[in-house]
Amino acid sequence: MASGTWDPISLPIRPGLYINFVEQALAQITGGPRGIVALPVFNYGTAKAGEFTLIANEKEAVDLLKITNSKPVIRVLQGGAKEVLVYTVPAIQTPETEESQYIKMRDAFEARPFNVFVYPGEVSSTEQDSTVTWVKRNRSEGKHFMVVFGGTADEDQDVVATNQRSVRLKDDYVVNLGSGVVLSDGSTLTSSEYASYIAGLIAGTPINKSVTYQALPVVDVTKRLRHSEIESALTSGTLILVHDGTSVKVEQGVVTNSSASKRGKIRIIRARQAVSTDIPRTACDHYIGKIDNNPAGQAALISAIKSYLETLELNNVLMEPVVKLDPQRPPVGDSVFLSISYIEVDSMERIFLTINV
């Protein structure tokens, strides 16, 4: 029988008994689902329009959308997502415009939980900009998710154009894929088509791991970049794929809000999203309106949040969490103010050696 400790972010596979000794708070804050990718589909055959479906495997995707229409969903699953939240977008009705179709689609997704959003293929720059605005508004309202974009075949051959898209879409929650790929059968996918796989990869990667140097199931990229081009892409916030002579890998898991002085990382942002989502959700379920705003109630709330952060600390998501009453804003009436701090843990991605001979 297998035994040992267990990781709440990546549970053991073997049957057995696994024990973690964790101090229990009044209501332990637990992590929510990390692996759901939201995907609107505009071509879906005889499937019913305007419906959401959670798809967990390729058979379900084909059953709902048929083989031709299910390819973006299958790529998300192959990337590692736990589930794909598919929405069959209703066709445009006269006198509607394409823009209103996209607005209604995004509004529909707002009421559903997911971790990463991606389109099944190319969308216009106008819709990309509108989607980033949508992401920012949702963040301000407490709904946190990432979005992955790509470009056209022509843009995939033009590093400058790809990097300009990253600058235009600059945000902590945005990933801009700048590389198309070559599949084993010799066919190619543009970056906007392969963005669905990258969305699945991001959603399926535990928040204490990085997508940097992740090997991908493709044989090549549609454009191999020189060293200077790779550096310019990274400093512009473009996620690029490179062929290292053996396989195709993610060069670095960056978001578009990146620069030479501040390299925004997918791992760091997803950890922030987890904290920003899990704590408010549990506060709503167990604390707001349910405990007294006195020292005992405040201590219970602080204990629960600290216990949650310590769980993330045990799993190498963060270090040295501190939770306390905000000394600048004492509790008053029905309001309590907390001060929370911790050190973010990134992956070791750059190693510098000094060799003395």
Residue whose pair of structure tokens reads 């709440």 in the numeric block: 8
Q: What pLDDT, on a 0 to 100 scale, did the predictor assign at position 24?
A: 36
Q: Which residues pair with 3 in a beta bridge?
A: 17
Cα 147 from Cα 126, distance rounded (Å): 15
pLDDT of 204 higher than 80: yes
- Which of 28-32, 167-171, 302-306 is most confident? 167-171
Q: What pLDDT, on a 0 to 100 scale, did the predictor assign at position 257?
A: 92
- Per-residue pLDDT of 100-116, as tens digits, reads 999 999 999 999 999 99
pLDDT of 327 higher than 80: yes
- 116-118/241-243 β-pairing: unpaired
Q: Among candidates 279, 260, 258, 261, which has minimal Cα distance to 269? A: 258
pLDDT of 30 higher than 70: no
Give the model's confidence band at 278: pLDDT under 50 very low, under 70 low, under 90 confident, else very high: confident
Cα 59 from Cα 66, distance rounded (Å): 9
Mean pLDDT of 342-349: 89
Cα atoms found within 13 Å of the Cα of residue 70, Cβ hemisphere only? 19
Across the chain, mean pLDDT equals 89
Q: Which residues pair with 84 in a beta bridge?
A: 37, 55
Mean pLDDT of 319-345: 91
The dihedral through the CA atoms of 15, 16, 17, 19 has a sign that is negative
Domains of the chain: 2-30+293-344 (no CATH), 36-267 (3.40.50.11780)
Give the model's confidence band at 29: pLDDT under 50 very low, under 70 low, under 90 confident, else very high: very low
